[in-house]
Amino acid sequence: MNMKRNYKRVYQFKIALDGIEPPIWRRIQVPETYSFWDLHVAIQDSMGWSDSHLHEFRLKNPATGETDVVGVPGEEFEGDPEVHAGWKKKVVDYFPAAGSTARYIYDLGDSWEHTLELEKVVPREKGIRYPLCVEGKRACPPEDCGGLEGYQDFLERILVLGHEDRRETVDWAGGNFDMEKFDPKQVRFNDPQKR
């Protein structure tokens, strides 16, 4: 039997993209059996990121009290913290109770920082397919737009009708970008094992 499908509880997280007002956020529910790799894929899918850059979680290890970095291990340089493989670490081991938080950083160049908070642990509902995006607000910034400063510049170019770079910027964003648009029913979750 697939242990990923054999679970009784789901963890509800709120993911908020830091530094942007009004806020961009998602509320998702994931199986208690999830690894950090699985959670990473669910965050990517719910936010609208394309998973084309490195990521890491920074959070307190309840067993040691130290801050752990969980993500995709690679070449480490002197002074860099050890990166624990996300597929080897279970979410339940780091989120002991509602209110537990972590930092999720995506695209270590643009440095999109998110606050991840465990809101509650609830019983699994029959007939519901998890992960599930329950709620959220506003569209995710376009991939590779340059972090917070680049996103502000991007918005200025597309919102100012007479801006000289408006048409080119809109085309770069796929021909359309509505910063207010988000529908949780449109979120499709990928299988983390296939990614």
Domains of the chain (ranges plus CATH)? 9-139+181-194 (3.10.290.30), 141-179 (no CATH)
pLDDT of residue 77: 66
- Residue 31 CB contacts under 8 Å (≥ 6 apart), including other chains: 4, 5, 7, 10, 11, 38, 124, 130, 131
pLDDT of residue 75: 72
pLDDT of residue 81: 85
Along the chain (195 residues), what's the average pLDDT of each consecutive run of 10 residues? 73 97 97 97 96 95 95 78 94 96 95 97 96 97 93 89 85 87 95 85
